[in-house]
Amino acid sequence: MRERALLAIVAASLALASTPPARACPQAAVTGVQPCDDVLRPAMINAGSGNLGSAGWAIHQQHAGVNPSHLQAGWVACVILSAVATTESSWHQFGYVACGQSAPTLVSGDCGYGIGQITSGMDGTGGFSPQSVAADPCTTCRSR
């Protein structure tokens, strides 16, 4: 039991040590409340199917089959999004706190933000709001 506690302390220390200062990343961290998994699951499904509405970004059309002119609506399997979120942040948007707790946006050493550790476009060139990525892991979270 002591070993687990010690490992948790070391992991938390390393995470804090690798967190860049806010001025080093293009978007400042935002303090928010960590949503619970029952709120995040529907958001993953909506994000994968492009149903986040005006607050989300569009998933571009993609080629279907062998005919390059045949396009279909873009989508990402929610199991893939869930796996990415698990790998990148253990489903944490705001620090490594329990759901319902407040903390600043999780920002990695390479300036990856939030649950998906988004890096591309966070300088404002991605066609979406970097502030929104830092502040809100899902549009469905706002309605709860």
**pTM for the model:** 0.68
* Residue among 124, 128, 126, 105 at smallest CA distance from 116: 105
Q: Give the pLDDT of residue 10.
A: 43
Chain segment 6-24, per-residue pLDDT in tens = 444 444 444 544 455 545 8
Which segment of 6-10, 28-32, 106-110, 116-120 scores lowest on mean pLDDT? 6-10
Average pLDDT over residues 65-71: 77
Q: Give the pLDDT of residue 143.
A: 40
Buried b (16+ CB within 10 A) or exposed e, 116-138: bbbeeebeeeeebebeebbbbbb
Chain segment 22-65, per-residue pLDDT in tens = 458 999 999 999 999 998 888 888 777 767 665 555 566 777 77
What is the C-alpha to C-alpha distance for residues 32 and 100, in angstroms, rounded to an integer? Answer: 9
Q: Give the pLDDT of residue 59.
A: 64
The pLDDT-based confidence of 5 (bands split at 50, 70, 90) is: very low
Which segment of 55-69, 70-84, 103-117 scores lowest on mean pLDDT? 55-69
Q: Give the pLDDT of residue 6.
A: 43
Q: Which amino acid is at 124?
A: G
Are 124 and 113 in contact by the 8 Å Cβ rule? The answer is no
Q: Which amino acid is at 37?
A: D
- Which range marks the domain in which residue 16 is found? 2-143
Number of domains in the chain: 1
Helix, strand, coil tally for the chain in percent (to 5): 40, 10, 50
List the beta strands (DSSP E) in 14-140: 31-33, 62-63, 71-72, 102-104
| pLDDT averaged over every residue in the chain | 76
Q: Which amino acid is at 90?
A: S
